[in-house]
Chain A
């Protein structure tokens, strides 16, 4: 029983480490460059201000993205719970 718990804990730790690795160390893009598409005002603003704009995700073109991500994880958890 204790051995079971230990191996479960080990599996959880490995999965957790893999998860963090996926998030924080993704495989880099193939040509080592990431691209930002913009219009003239964007090009000018970026070059003159030396900054990039990060916009509030709830007002972007997919306003439901946060809800979508939560829904995807929700379904995954429900599936797991049913399996156990």
Chain B
């Protein structure tokens, strides 16, 4: 068969994917430098199993619940390859086959150049415009939605924060542990571990 097979121009129907990013380590210098104030920022640790319950501000908004997924880098994940291999590909069936791939996929496969980020994402599909907010990016406008933690469909309030690590550029004599502790307490978070990154990095 055939070189004559034509794949649809866009494999995935136009969806609006909104993502919140996480990493599976708080000890990556490249992440500290790129995303945390060039080493002078912070890294919040969230309990994974609780984070999986992260949801919309209200239940039943939008057409699906957000998904917390691991990002694959470079190649098609093995499970997708097996899926494609197992299905008889024919020109007539191709759109149907593709439509059964998860609409979350475009946000789960990234260029191999980003592999060091070891990213996980909460992916929200097609949030209604009335839930969108907007902020300034470095050279663009960044639409976003706010995700809160739901339990049994009801807002649970506080996020499942397990730890706060402060960056290698912050000086211990400026009392970051104590002050972050106050911020946590003021906002109702208790039992959260606050520690330095332990990375010996200075500009």
Contacts and interface: CB of A to CB of B under 8 A. Distances in A.
Interface of A: 8, 11-12, 14-16, 18-24, 26-30, 32-40, 42-44, 46-57, 59-60, 62, 64-66, 68-70, 72-74, 76-78, 80-82, 84
Interface residues of B, number: 100
Contacts of B137: 59
B144 A56 contact: yes
A19 B48 contact: no
A81 B2 contact: yes
Interface string B23-40: 111100001101111001
B143 A56 contact: yes
B41 A42 contact: yes
Interface string B126-147: 0100000000010011111111
Interface string B72-99: 0011110111111111110000100010
A72 B1 CA distance: 21
A46 B45 CA distance: 12
A52 B54 contact: yes
A56 to B, nearest CB: 4
